[in-house]
Structure 1
Amino acid sequence: MVRQELVARQLDERIAARYAVGQRLRVLDVGPGLGIQALRLARAGHQVTCLESDPAVLAALWEALWAEPEGVRERVRLVEGDVRDTGAHFPPGAFDVVLCHGVLMYVTEPAPTLAGLARVLAPGGLLSLLVRNAEALAMRPGLAGDWDTALAAFDVTEYTNRLGLRVRADRLADLTATLTGVGVPLDTWYGVRLFTDQAADHEAVPGPERLARLLDAEDRAGRTDPYRAVAALLHLCAVRRV
């Protein structure tokens, strides 16, 4: 919940900085998961395409979509396909905004994937990436007192996520260089989930007043050095060269 709320705030901020109020955008959400950001943007009036390779996730997305009003459903298109083949599914410059949240960690080599995302992004368009922060892999085990795992995390970019899968983290400097190389240089970046990264998956959401303060603190940390550099996730917003 913290992750989705913070990313929504940051994404809305970057969209407002680049586009006119009320402008209807063409959005691609690659690996949309439960569709939280995709449906939120569709409710705001944007045309949203979701690219997803997992049939089970697609089925869940269809179910969530049919719970929405007809006007929202009409603005969402679901496409079955792999993120690594994004450039083959859509024509060049087809989208004003491309979201790729929590996906690069499952891709062995990010550069070809990012090149494909850049290809379908219109000139001046916004690319939003959410990645695991390789510079902060020692934080979670260290704060939990798991010293062996913390020490090992300083020298690797792979880790075991909460689903028990071996996945990959990214370094900000590496992604910045790659984005520049594919013609979508980094514009702004944020840290996501710093103070709450130790929270258990089953932990109850706080009451409204405490939750509001929590989110404000996380939001401030995600925009402030040195805190944002050790957040669990990095939200990178890059802009396609005109």
Structure 2
Amino acid sequence: MSRAGSRPGGVDPIRPRASLRTAVVWEVLQGALERRAKAADRPALDVLDTGGGTGNFAVPVARLGHRVTVVDPSPDALFALERRAAEAGVTDRVSAVQGDVHGLLGVVRPGGYDMVLCHGVLEYVDDPAEGVRNVVDALRPAGSLSLLAAGRGGAVLARALAGHFAEAQQALLDPDGRYGAADSLPRRFTADDLTRLVTEAGLRTASVHGVRVFADLVPGVLVDTEPGAAEALLRLELAAAEDPGFHSVATQLHVLAERD
């Protein structure tokens, strides 16, 4: 993955920390969109973004020329999405639908999408396996799934480095990877958890990447003020993302899965 400098996944000089947190996912996602469009012999794909909120991924995907349907339970988020799409000039390629992943097939057409994004959703649903089955049922026969979820090991490492050793141990031992009552996430996952979910739903895992391996641990003042630090950290993140040895300490895990 060496194209970060020429793609929207590169470091944004205005918000370097934010772009570092999404760069790995963008590298994988945009490459997958390119391959899918070439295989389908269509320049514009139909993309479904479940839990897409204000359009952090949906609007840039639409700017690439694809048609994106965003499903989210929050009307406020969908309103912000529509405003963001208008500012980007892609209103005609972005549709907003209120709903959630458990009722997904009641608000979108089954088997109607070339790619489904399921980012930051499984942490909150009552039944992650059902959620994955629903998004898979929205895919066309040759479709791809982009799945992003919080990593268990990243939370353990972060709590330990912050000096909260009891909470780190709690996150390590808890079945859902939670560090205590103050934890805002209902659950976290390992790479094996996520690959098992997509396999059981009938997909083949194409790749697994660690996301935010270092970005959440490096002092913000260093990234924001040290010349060249953001770009160097980005290169490090992209290199570590592909190494399975770092998956166990990543803040998030990204799985790209496809139908055979």
The runs of 5 or more residues in structure 1 that have no matched partner are none
CA distance in 1, matches of 2:37, 2:128: 28
Write out aligned runs for 1:200-219 (5 A). 205=224, 209-219=228-238
State the match for 1:16 in structure 2: 34
Q: Does 1:146 align with 2:164?
A: yes
CA distance in 2, matches of 1:187, 1:128: 10
The secondary structure found in structure 2 opposite 1:212 is helix
Offset, 1:121? 0.4
CA distance in 2, matches of 1:217, 1:210: 10
Deviates more, 1:169-178 or 1:88-97: 169-178
State the match for 1:123 in structure 2: 141
CA contact (8 A) 2:21 2:215 kept: no
Offset, 1:136? 3.3
% of aligned pairs identical? 32
CA contact (8 A) 1:118 1:240 kept: no
Change (3 A) 1:207 1:201: closer
The secondary structure found in structure 2 opposite 1:90 is coil
Change (3 A) 1:169 1:213: same
Deviates more, 1:5-14 or 1:16-25: 16-25
State the match for 1:91 in structure 2: 109
The runs of 5 or more residues in structure 2 that have no matched partner are 1-17
Change (3 A) 1:54 1:160: farther
Q: Does 1:190 align with 2:209?
A: yes
CA contact (8 A) 2:119 2:147 kept: yes
The secondary structure found in structure 2 opposite 1:138 is helix
Offset, 1:204? 6.8
Offset, 1:213? 1.3
> Paired residues, what number?
238
CA contact (8 A) 1:108 1:168 kept: no
CA contact (8 A) 1:31 1:101 kept: yes
CA distance in 1, matches of 2:53, 2:218: 21
Write out aligned runs for 1:30-69 (5 A). 30-69=50-89
